[in-house]
Structure 1
């Protein structure tokens, strides 16, 4: 008895999925995202100072050396309770001398908000160039009035 419900027919069910259309769609989407992604970036155009520096690790539980730059662009080194004013030429040597006595100390930079950004970055680069490994920035939390 031959009929449509015969189980002995020579036809086998197709078990393959044709993925070629999916690959085509994915390639088109890839091209679209590659073209539109650079257009999505937003931001303010700024001219950043160019200084070579390396990322650093956070300090251990030791007394930090604080290098401060005040509004008159004068440098001060604070260690514990003592603070001394230094010139830019002797700044790196004094910090290196302090770190020879306590090598695990971190050097933190405290800059006045009116000091130029480039001067702070140059100070940090000078410290790293002198062999200081741990350099960080000090900031104050915002006032929530």
Structure 2
């Protein structure tokens, strides 16, 4: 509160009460400190799209192993037996640069079957194994 000093009557005061002004400024400062970092992540970037057939720099065409619900294995959409799978993976493991192996498994495929395929690939020396999934929408 401001009190007038001086005697006379009800004339206008020449002093400004700065307490409410400081309170408002501090509230605005806090609001801007909280919202400023949130606005920094609004940049939209369109990333390039790639397909599995494209060659990655320094690597060959990736190998896609599809595993169905009944345990059937497909090498780049061609059916393959488990015994032949191991020998084909061993041949690919010897190549320089070594291609990446991408595993696409059906949602209802038993994990035991997938784990056996991953173990087979690791045992023959495949270094890069990835899993292909559907992004959430």
TM-score under structure 1 length normalisation: 0.49
> Structure 1, residues 51-90: CA drift from partner, whole Å, max 9, x if none?
xxxxxxxx86632111110122111111xxxx32111111
Q: Which has the higher contact order (CA 8 A, sep 6+)?
A: 1
In structure 2, relative to structure 1, the CA distance for the partners of 1:60 and 1:125 (3 Å cut) is farther
Residues 60 and 118 from structure 1, CA distance in 2 versus in 1: closer, same or farther, beyond 3 angstroms?
farther
Structure with max Cα Rg: 2
Q: Which residue of 2 aligns with 1:112?
A: 106
Question: Which SS does the other structure have where 1:89 is aligned?
Answer: helix
User: Among 74, 77, 90, which residue is 1:76 paired with?
Assistant: 74
Moved over 4 A (4+): none
Gaps of 5+ in 2: 1-55
Report the count of equivalent residues. 81
Q: Distance in 2 between matches of 1:84 and 1:132?
A: 20
Change (3 A) 1:72 1:102: farther
Q: Is the 8 A contact 1:60 1:105 kept in 2?
A: no
1:93 aligns with 2:87: yes
Specify every segment of 5 or more residues in structure 1 that has no aligned partner in the other structure, as ranges: 1-58
Q: What TM-score, normalized by structure 2, do the two folds share? A: 0.52
1:101, CA displacement in angstroms?
4.2
Q: Hey, what's the Cα distance between the residues in 1 that align with 2:69 and 2:118?
A: 17
